[in-house]
């Protein structure tokens, strides 16, 4: 009889623990408020109306640890830095093209003046 009581108490204790764990993992409604904070509610009635569309279907958000967050931040910074570098290079190339065109225009003007002077000297020398 003692064995039966012990077994039944053990089963009862196991069921109690199981019930508590299920209750603790009961359906919770998760939503993000206007400040960007994740909130949890035990029932749909506790979720403010403006956030209810966020919970159907529930979308799990990945929880990043500090290291993953830092790596993500570094990756974003590298990408931003690369974009800035590309923009600077494009501006430099555009300025160089503009400068080269200006030099070519000046050379052409000098060549034109030299030809005009040569032709006027030839005309005046005849």
What does each of the 126 residues of the chain score in pLDDT, given as a tens digit? 576 677 666 656 665 655 555 444 456 777 788 888 888 888 878 888 888 777 755 545 566 678 888 888 999 999 999 999 999 999 999 999 999 999 999 999 999 999 999 888 888 765
Q: Are 17 and 24 in contact (CB under 8 A)?
A: no
Helix (H) or strand (E) segment spanning residue 85 = helix 66-125
pLDDT at residue number 22: 46
CA–CA separation, 86 and 89 (whole Å): 5
pLDDT at residue number 45: 82
φ/ψ of residue 94, rounded to 5: -65, -40
CA 113 to chain centre: 58
CA–CA separation, 53 and 45 (whole Å): 13
């Amino acid at each position: 009889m003692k064995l039966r009581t012990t077994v039944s108490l053990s089963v009862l204790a196991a069921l109690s623990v199981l019930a508590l764990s299920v209750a603790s993992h009961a359906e919770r409604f998760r939503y993000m408020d206007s400040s960007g904070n994740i909130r949890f509610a035990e029932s749909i009635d506790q979720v403010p109306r403006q956030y209810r569309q966020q919970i159907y279907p529930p979308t799990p958000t990945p929880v990043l640890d500090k290291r993953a967050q830092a790596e993500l931040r570094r990756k974003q910074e590298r990408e931003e830095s690369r974009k800035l570098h590309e923009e600077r290079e494009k501006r430099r190339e555009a300025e160089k093209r503009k400068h080269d065109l200006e030099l070519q225009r000046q050379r052409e003007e000098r060549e034109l003046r030299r030809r005009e002077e040569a032709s006027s000297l030839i005309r005046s020398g005849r």
